[in-house]
Amino acid sequence: MTRYDTIRLAGYVPDSDAEWTVPYYTLALPRPQRRLLLDLYRLGLKRPDDCLAVPVGRLNSLLQALAPEVVSVAKWLDVSHDEPWLYARGPVPADVFATLVHAWVNDLRPEPEHRQAVREVLDALRPGELRWERCEVPMLARTPTAAGTAQPDGRLYQLLPDALADLALGLDPFSYPGGSLGFRGVARRPSDRGAELLSWPPDRYVDRDGRTWWFSALLTLTLQTVPFSPEFRVHLRSGVRRWATRTGPNGLYLPPRRAASVYLLANAPWIEDGPESRASARFSVGRLRYDRELRARRWEAGGPDGMLSRLRLRQPFPQPDSLTGDPTRWLAGTRGVTAAVVHSAPMGSHGVKAGLMPGDRVPLTEWFEQALPEGLRRAPDPVRANRWSTVRRPAGQRSGEVLDPDTWETTERRQELAELLAGEPFRAEFLWLTEPIRDAGVQALATLLGLDEEPVRKPSGEAPSPDGETLSWQTPELTVELHLARIGGLADSLVLSPADQRSTSALHAAIADRRAQVVRRLPAASADDRASLALLEIHPKDAYAPRPADPKFALRLGFRDAGQVTQFVVNPRRVPGKPADADTARARKLEACWTDGFRQLGHRAVPAHGLGPAIPADTQYAALWLVKRRRDGPTRRADLVPIAVRVRPGDPVPERITGWDVRTGEWVPYPTLLVRLAESAELPTADDPDEEPPSHDAGGPSGAEDGEASDQDEDRNGPTERHRRIVADAVQEVLFGLRDRPTLLLVHAQNARRLWPWLQDGHIEPDRVRLHGRPAQRLAVQGHGLRLIRVRDSTDTETPQWWGRGSQTSDDGEEERLGIATGLWRPAGHDPRNRVFGSTGEKAGPGTNVSVMASRWAFRSYTREGKTGSTIDTDRPAWNPGLLEIVVAGCLPDDDPELWATLAHRLRQSPGRAPLLALPLPLHLARKATEYVLPTTRDQPTEPEEDDGAVQLCFDLGVIAP
């Protein structure tokens, strides 16, 4: 077995004294003209003073679609500055740019009553007279923060990846056994992050049924910072871009409320700019959307349908119906335009599976590295953080009789549930739709609790469910009672006509009606306020039309009224392989559902850290998670809900996992927290006429990358500022409630940093803490035994892709091996005060059995059971665990930061589960609690299963609304 003592990062850092400049042409807009644009945009806003910058998101989309060579470095234009925000390798012809600006300014305020104001602004702007100026941009410029974190020049978040991508395009095509890949650049907006390279022409894969599927290699470059590091880092992400292929009689299914990206290449410039002009070598990007009001597919208004009508294009965009009716025909080009619609999981299954394994990723990464300029080098390979690895974990079993692992685990689970329920029976409702799910659910519960005997069956005798029955088991530790009944009409769509789906009052009336049905059917809540569990089988979400008619939110509230926490299950439509595979998948799904139901009741095994007395015996773990509920969810109002969870490993089970009730200022049992969080989703009683809908440039002014908002751009009295004050107060209260014991507090960077700005890379300082609006102070002031860890995951490539590097001895000598390695990693060297670590886990899910050398393009040889052969893995899923960054932001002077990073890493290991949790357990519990604040797919978008081949069919049959 290969041991991996190092990992390699697909990341690149500059030398300390390196310099590299790249020429660009820039366009600046003077402050007076910016002010004119801001005044124009403010017209018609209900709160104009809240808007302090000009939104340029729609102009960025227009440039992305029609001028792909232009790079924008801003989403908002600050009227107090006049720095350039548009960059290009060559000047954009004045008439072309004037045409685009003219369309955009008209679109800022398209209402008829503002036409005169638009004309006046255009007359003052004179876009045809704006001039592009050449300048040299220092690509490696950065300044250190007080804590030593490198801060790049803000414009480099777009320009540095763009310049590196341009160098890679100058390389020879990437070669692999049997073929090669040539790459093109792709137009990007600041919100798209970085630069993108796409292999073209696309590759095709013919499956066993003779169907052809199209795909390309994808390389994405982003610029990131690392806390306390004097050098920034460029991350390279390699993957697969799959092109929409499957259609039906009604064409290609476009998911509701989501735009489908379309990559476009034209044989000539989109806008006429002279006889010597050439077509861009980059892909333009437009976005298709289904318009429910028009009942038609159209180019998205923000990208750029509303503006296209004002432009005279040299050649028109493809007609949406033609493109969605036969998307593969456009891959080879039609009428001078090549178009490729990006496949997404809601469109159904795809013959080419997502992701790349190291067998493809490593050669692509090494090919790209040939383009690195002098002064930019691969980041050093991290090594194992093993100072605390020799400490043995304690044995799992308590004492006495030695049991096999499965028996011990089920016995332990029964004992802890009995302790959690204070000796009361474990009672659960299981409302089912289909018999396979019912049978699998009963068997899964029996497996998890070790219920080997046949249950005692008693008819329920309830009128609403005459076919119901109660199954009971008796064990030495626990009595189990499972009430089975058909869910019936509770799982049906809410009574909501398509005409009423936008009406808040109609939606709330439908939810209240379903909620009342639930309460009438269930027994009253227990007098001791102890929550019980309900497992509910519901239809797949695509069966509910219109989309707001999905009953999940109403069921969650209804069962909460009856004092029950809820876990939902959907029967998989199709599992590839033999019927036995479907049974196995169903059994695993139901076991996971029951396990998550136990978690909602407050039962969750806490990993034993195994670090001995180095960790104070009474140390408690806490986590903070911030939930922002959107205005377009079923409550129809925005809200901010801070969630804090506390874990005390040595406490009795009922007090082991608790949550902070922000209203009462007390720690309550975890299931009580969930029930009270559901109360925060109570509905207003009528439409709110004063609510201003979000603008077409949603969001707020932001001058920083990496998801971090610039303080100077924030409205001091706006919603973000109010939310930051709320978070500061909540954090202070939670910290005060944790002062009685040594505490490890965990926070998630991408979740919390916008509303707790001190967590941003540019502000965080070691062993200090700053709550918004208050001065920074030593961490010890908030609690003598307080430690603070910030984690960051691979979202938006903020942590790099990686692979294990090791060696294996064979008859031919020692050879390098690639693989997936579990462990905690630190930078090479011997700095004992290093605070930044990486945590990685093993393969999991559908990629567990896929070879690390699997390839999308090339055949590979294999040996299996003494037989050799060759195979290609285009149709097999590739899944690589992401790298979780662990930053020990605060600890005591005599602490070893690696000790606390090791603890955080081990908190990802849940007893009885092979793959690591995505986050340390306290953060996992806090994030899972958001289901009770955001209980619907509208607030928390999810995608159908990857192999759901029925989506297109349901769309064609009218089961899915367009």
Can you read off the two tokens belonging to residue 477? 């530790």
Per DSSP bridges, beta strands 743-748 and 786-792 are parallel
Nearest alpha-carbon partner for 836 in 884, 764, 888, 896: 888
pLDDT of residue 505: 82
Higher pLDDT, 714 or 446: 446
DSSP string covering 884-950, please?
EEEEEEE--TT--HHHHHHHHHHTT--TT-SSPPSS-HHHHHHHHGGGGTS-STTTS-----TT-TT
Residues 144 and 151: beta-carbon distance below 8 Å: yes
Instruction: Say yes or no to pLDDT of 273 above 90.
Output: no
The identity of residue 929, as a single letter, is: A
Taking the alpha carbons of 516, 522, 527, 531 in that order, is the dihedral positive or negative? Answer: negative
Burial 110-144 (b: 16+ CB within 10 A, else e): eeeebeebbeebbeebebeebebeeeebebbbbee
- List CB contacts of 729: < 8 A, sequence separation 6 or more: none
Return the number of other C-beta atoms located less than 10 Å from residue 816's C-beta. 9
Q: What is the mean pLDDT of residues 912-923?
A: 85
Can you read off the two tokens belonging to residue 618? 């009474």
Give the model's confidence band at 467: pLDDT under 50 very low, under 70 low, under 90 confident, else very high. low
Name the percent of the chain in helix, strand, coil, to the closest 5: 30, 25, 45
Which segments of 261-357 does DSSP mark as H helices, in order?
305-308, 320-325
Instruction: Say yes or no to pLDDT of 33 above 50.
Output: yes
Angle between helices 504-521 and 552-561 (to 10 degrees): 50
What DSSP designation does 489 have?
G
Among the residue ranges 636-645, 717-726, 953-962, the one predicted with the least confidence is 953-962
pLDDT of residue 302: 41
* Each residue's pLDDT tens digit, 486-523: 999 999 998 877 666 667 788 888 888 999 999 888 86
* Each residue's pLDDT tens digit, 408-422: 788 989 999 999 998
Among the residue ranges 461-470, 775-784, 925-934, the one predicted with the least confidence is 461-470
Residue 778, exposed/middle/buried by CB under 10 A (0-12, 13-18, 19+)?
A: exposed
Q: What is the mean pLDDT of residues 155-163?
A: 96
**β-strand partners of 629:** 639
Residues 356 and 856: beta-carbon distance below 8 Å: yes
Longest Cα–Cα distance in the chain: 89
Half-sphere exposure at residue 683, Cβ-oriented, CA atoms within 13 angstroms: 23
Instruction: Say yes or no to pLDDT of 404 above 70.
Output: no
pLDDT of residue 939: 33
pLDDT of residue 625: 96
Q: Nearest 5°: phi and psi at 65?
A: -85, -35
pLDDT of residue 959: 44
* Each residue's pLDDT tens digit, 56-101: 988 898 898 889 999 999 999 888 888 899 999 998 888 888 889 9
pLDDT of residue 403: 46
What DSSP designation does 169 have?
T
What distance in Å separates the CA atoms of residue 397 and residue 403, rounded to the nearest whole number? 8
What distance in Å separates the CA atoms of residue 212 and residue 245, rounded to the nearest whole number? 8
Q: Nearest 5°: phi and psi at 700?
A: -145, 165
What distance in Å separates the CA atoms of residue 120 and residue 43, rounded to the nearest whole number? 14
> What percentage of residues in the chain have a pLDDT greater than 90?
53
> What percentage of residues in the chain have a pLDDT greater than 70?
84
* Each residue's pLDDT tens digit, 194-214: 999 999 999 999 998 999 999
Per DSSP bridges, beta strands 383-384 and 823-826 are antiparallel
Residues 707 and 740: beta-carbon distance below 8 Å: no
pLDDT of residue 709: 40
DSSP-based three-state secondary structure for 97: helix
Give the model's confidence band at 948: pLDDT under 50 very low, under 70 low, under 90 confident, else very high. very low
Among the residue ranges 275-289, 656-670, 849-863, the one predicted with the least confidence is 275-289
Give the model's confidence band at 698: pLDDT under 50 very low, under 70 low, under 90 confident, else very high. very low
What distance in Å separates the CA atoms of residue 584 and residue 652, rounded to the nearest whole number? 35
Give the model's confidence band at 293: pLDDT under 50 very low, under 70 low, under 90 confident, else very high. confident
Instruction: Say yes or no to pLDDT of 814 above 60.
Output: no
pLDDT of residue 6: 94
What distance in Å separates the CA atoms of residue 656 and residue 464, rounded to the nearest whole number? 38
pLDDT of residue 219: 98
Give the model's confidence band at 463: pLDDT under 50 very low, under 70 low, under 90 confident, else very high. very low
Nearest alpha-carbon partner for 557 in 508, 506, 592: 508
Residues 933 and 818: beta-carbon distance below 8 Å: no
Instruction: Say yes or no to pLDDT of 691 above 80.
Output: no
pLDDT of residue 357: 92
Give the model's confidence band at 703: pLDDT under 50 very low, under 70 low, under 90 confident, else very high. very low
Give the model's confidence band at 942: pLDDT under 50 very low, under 70 low, under 90 confident, else very high. very low
pLDDT of residue 847: 67
Task: Write down the residue that tokens 């773990």 correspond to.
Answer: 621
Residues 376 and 234: beta-carbon distance below 8 Å: yes
* Each residue's pLDDT tens digit, 531-572: 899 999 999 877 887 777 889 989 998 998 888 999 999 876
Which segments of 128-175 does DSSP mark as H helices, in order?
156-168
**β-strand partners of 198:** 184, 218
Average pLDDT, the chain: 85
pLDDT of residue 808: 64
Question: Would you say how long the chain is, in residues?
Answer: 962
Give the model's confidence band at 247: pLDDT under 50 very low, under 70 low, under 90 confident, else very high. confident
What distance in Å separates the CA atoms of residue 871 and residue 611, rounded to the nearest whole number? 45
pLDDT of residue 264: 94
Task: Write down the residue that tokens 């077995």 correspond to.
Answer: 1
pLDDT of residue 711: 37
Can you read off the two tokens belonging to residue 26? 């820039």
Among the residue ranges 243-257, 609-623, 679-693, the one predicted with the least confidence is 679-693
Residues 650 and 665: beta-carbon distance below 8 Å: no
Can you read off the two tokens belonging to residue 855? 């390839």
Nearest alpha-carbon partner for 270 in 349, 187, 195: 187
Q: What is the mean pLDDT of residues 428-454?
A: 94
Higher pLDDT, 203 or 347: 203
What are the distances in angstroms from CA 222 to CA 67, 233, 877? 21, 9, 25
DSSP-based three-state secondary structure for 953: helix
DSSP string covering 233-267, please?
EEEEEEEEEEEP---BTTBPPPPTT-PEEEEEEES
The CA angle 845-848-854, to the nearest 5 degrees, is 125
Give the model's confidence band at 914: pLDDT under 50 very low, under 70 low, under 90 confident, else very high. low
Give the model's confidence band at 940: pLDDT under 50 very low, under 70 low, under 90 confident, else very high. very low
Give the model's confidence band at 526: pLDDT under 50 very low, under 70 low, under 90 confident, else very high. low
Q: What is the mean pLDDT of residues 178-196?
A: 93
The identity of residue 482, as a single letter, is: L
Give the model's confidence band at 943: pLDDT under 50 very low, under 70 low, under 90 confident, else very high. very low
